[in-house]
C-alpha cells in the first residue's frame, strides 16, 4: 500500500507501521518534509530521494513524499471489543453499511479517531477497503483506529447484541437524535451514500435515530452525518 502526504506519512512513522521505504522529492527544501525524513532515518527506514515526476507516477497529490508499506492489517471484532475492556469503559463502535467512496471512508475514519471510537466494522463486499486514497484522506488516522472487515455485517450485529451492545441505525424516520439515549455500550450504523442502511440491517438494530433537518435539502454527506451523530453520542456519554 502507498501512503502519500506529509501528515499521513508522519503518522505512519510514529505508529511504527511496517514501512518498506519512503520516496521523497530530491528538490524540496521544505522544513516539514526534512523533519519527516529525519524521523524516518532515525527509525531506520530506507529513504530514496527522487525526481518529482517519479513521485507523481507513484501517487498524485503526494506533497513531495510517498511511503511504501505492507498491506493494511485489519483487526478482528474481538480486538475492537478489547479496546473498551482495556480502558475500563463502555463500548463505542461504528458500523459502515456499504460505504463505497474512498474519500467518504477516509473522512469517516478521521472523524471516528478524533471522537474516540473503539473501532470500525466494514463489509468485505460492496464496500470500499482501506486503500491509498483512504489512507491519504484520513490524514494518518488509519494508524490509530482498529478496522475489521467482515463477511456479513448482519451476523456481527447479532453478535454485538449478544455482548450486551445496543445497536442503532442512523436513518430518516427514527427517534430524534437529541432525545435518544446513547449511553452504555453502543454501536452506530451508518448507511451507504445512495441507499442508506439496508432494510434487513435496520430491522436487526435496536433502534433508529435521526437528525433534525431545518433546510430544504433533506440529506447530508455521510461523513458529515457520521461526525454529527458521533459527536452527539460523545456529548451525551460524557466521554
CATH value at residue 29 = 3.30.1330.30
Query: In terms of Cα–Cα distance, which of 190, 65, 82 is closest to 140?
Result: 65
Query: In terms of Cα–Cα distance, which of 57, 61, 67 is closest to 9?
Result: 67
Helix (H) or strand (E) holding 47: strand 47-50
pLDDT in tens, 57-115: 998 888 999 999 988 899 999 999 999 999 999 999 999 999 999 999 999 999 999 99
Do both 46 and 104 map to the same domain?
no
Boundary (domain end) residue, out of 19, 36, 69: 69
pLDDT at site 60? 86
- Note down the domain range covering 57: 2-69
The pTM of the full predicted model, rounded to 2 decimals, is: 0.83
pLDDT at site 226? 95
Mean pLDDT of the residues in the chain: 91
The phi, psi pair for 188, rounded to 5°, reads -105, 130
**Domain count of the fold of the chain:** 2
pLDDT at site 126? 85
pLDDT in tens, 191-225: 987 888 999 999 999 999 988 777 666 677 899 99
Could you tell me the three cell numbers for 115? 471522537
* Model confidence at 156: pLDDT above 80: yes
pLDDT in tens, 157-193: 999 999 999 999 998 888 888 889 898 999 999 998 7
Do both 157 and 133 map to the same domain?
yes
By the 8 A CB rule, do 13 and 36 touch? yes
pLDDT at site 239? 58
Specify whether the backbone of 186 is left (phi greater than 0), alpha (psi in -120 to 50) or beta.
Answer: beta
Q: CA–CA separation, 144 vs 15, rounded Å?
A: 8
How many angstroms separate the Cα of 187 from the Cα of each of 26, 165, 168, 170? 46, 7, 6, 11
Boundary (domain end) residue, out of 69, 87, 102: 69
What residues contact 238, with CB distance under 8 A and at least 6 apart? none
Do both 201 and 149 map to the same domain?
yes
Do both 63 and 117 map to the same domain?
no
What residues contact 217, with CB distance under 8 A and at least 6 apart? none
pLDDT > 90: percent of the chain: 69
Chain length of the chain:
239
Do both 28 and 136 map to the same domain?
no
Do both 83 and 31 map to the same domain?
no
DSSP-derived secondary structure letter, 217: -
Do both 122 and 219 map to the same domain?
yes
Amino acid at each position: 500500500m502507498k501512503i502519500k502526504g506529509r501528515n499521513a506519512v508522519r503518522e505512519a512513522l510514529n505508529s511504527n507501521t511496517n514501512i518498506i521505504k519512503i520516496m521523497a522529492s530530491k528538490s524540496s527544501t521544505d522544513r516539514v518534509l526534512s523533519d519527516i525524513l529525519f524521523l524516518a532515518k532515525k527509525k531506520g527506514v530506507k529513504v530514496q530521494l527522487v525526481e518529482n515526476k517519479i513521485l507523481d507516477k507513484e501517487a498524485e497529490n503526494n506533497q513531495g513524499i510517498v511511503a511504501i508499506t505492507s498491506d493494511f492489517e485489519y483487526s478482528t471484532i474481538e480486538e475492537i471489543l478489547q479496546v473498551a475492556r482495556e480502558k475500563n469503559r463502555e463500548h463505542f463502535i461504528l458500523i459502515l453499511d456499504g460505504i463505497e467512496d474512498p474519500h467518504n471512508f477516509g473522512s469517516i475514519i478521521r472523524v471516528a479517531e478524533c471522537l474516540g471510537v473503539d473501532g470500525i466494522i466494514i463489509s468485505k463486499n460492496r464496500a470500499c477497503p482501506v486503500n491509498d486514497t483512504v489512507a491519504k484522506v484520513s490524514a494518518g488516522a488509519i494508524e490509530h483506529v482498529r478496522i475489521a472487515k467482515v463477511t456479513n455485517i448482519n451476523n456481527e450485529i447479532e453478535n454485538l447484541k449478544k455482548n450486551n451492545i445496543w445497536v442503532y441505525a442512523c436513518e430518516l424516520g427514527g427517534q430524534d437524535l437529541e432525545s435518544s439515549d446513547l449511553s452504555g455500550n453502543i454501536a452506530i450504523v451508518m448507511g451507504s451514500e445512495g441507499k442508506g442502511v439496508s432494510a434487513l440491517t435496520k430491522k436487526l438494530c435496536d433502534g433508529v435515530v435521526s437528525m433534525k433537518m431545518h433546510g430544504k435539502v433533506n440529506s447530508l454527506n455521510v461523513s458529515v452525518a457520521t461526525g454529527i451523530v458521533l459527536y452527539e453520542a460523545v456529548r451525551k456519554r460524557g466521554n
